[in-house]
Copies of this chain bind each other. A is one copy, B any other.
Amino acid sequence: MSLALPQHATKVMKLAQAAGLTLATAESCTAGALAVLLADAPDAGKQFHGGFVVYTKDNKRVALGVPAKLIAAQSAVSSDVAKAMASGALDRCPADIGVAITGVAGPEPDEDGNPVGLVYVAAAAKGGAITAIECKFGKLSREDIRDRSMAAALTLLETVLSEQTDLTGRP
């Protein structure tokens, strides 16, 4: 794992703490690694509720309520599925902000032909907007793709936390 990731996670958790907001994850290709990272930040127990690992399409549907039709139409690696994962997580846990990652860590393209390194990251605030970004990391190693996906998720969390802080007027 990139050495910068734990520091990045700690920075995000401090922002969450300052804003008085709690976090949750919904992960496919990173399979729980972002949750481990957030849980390892100091005082994580106060801001990080946990999350969902939805490795199969079936589990995206059952555990997070991602519509089967959406997955059939757009595959599991798509902007809308990432958004549905983030909002599904918020509906099923007590967190204020949910972040989702779905993509192809490789080494082979997925069953729907999505290329290695294609990853979508989404973040949603409870009752607020959902933002998604597309990342094309190219054919890197599984570890590199996961690390970059987590970095993208942490950066998106920073943005959403800053917006929420502006909205609430909290520091």
Q: List residues of A whose CB falls within 8 A of some B CB.
A: 24-25, 27-28, 30-36, 38-40, 44-45, 48-56, 58-59, 62-63, 92-95, 142
**Of B28, B34, B39, B54, which contacts A55 at CB under 8 A?**
B39
Q: Contact check, B48 vs A44: say whether CB atoms are below 8 A apart.
A: no
Query: Chain B residues with Cβ under 8 A from A62's Cβ?
Result: 92-94
A32 and B25 alpha carbons, distance in the complex (Å): 10
Q: Contact check, A49 vs B39: say whether CB atoms are below 8 A apart.
A: no
Query: Chain B residues with Cβ under 8 A from A52's Cβ?
Result: 50-53, 63
Known: A62-B93, A92-B62, A93-B63. A32 touches B56 (CB 8 A): no
Query: Chain B residues with Cβ under 8 A from A25's Cβ?
Result: 32, 53
CB distance from A119 to the nearest CB of B (A): 15
Query: Chain B residues with Cβ under 8 A from A35's Cβ?
Result: 31-32, 53, 55
Query: Chain B residues with Cβ under 8 A from A63's Cβ?
Result: 49-50, 52, 92-93
Query: Chain B residues with Cβ under 8 A from A50's Cβ?
Result: 27-28, 31-32, 52-56, 59, 63
Query: Chain B residues with Cβ under 8 A from A33's Cβ?
Result: 32, 36
Q: Contact check, B51 vs A53: say whether CB atoms are below 8 A apart.
A: yes
CB distance from A73 to the nearest CB of B (A): 20
Closest B residue by C-beta to A58: B94
CB distance from A167 to the nearest CB of B (A): 23
Q: Contact check, B53 vs A45: say whether CB atoms are below 8 A apart.
A: no
CB distance from A12 to the nearest CB of B (A): 15
Closest B residue by C-beta to A143: B40
CB distance from A42 to the nearest CB of B (A): 11
Q: Contact check, B51 vs A56: say whether CB atoms are below 8 A apart.
A: no
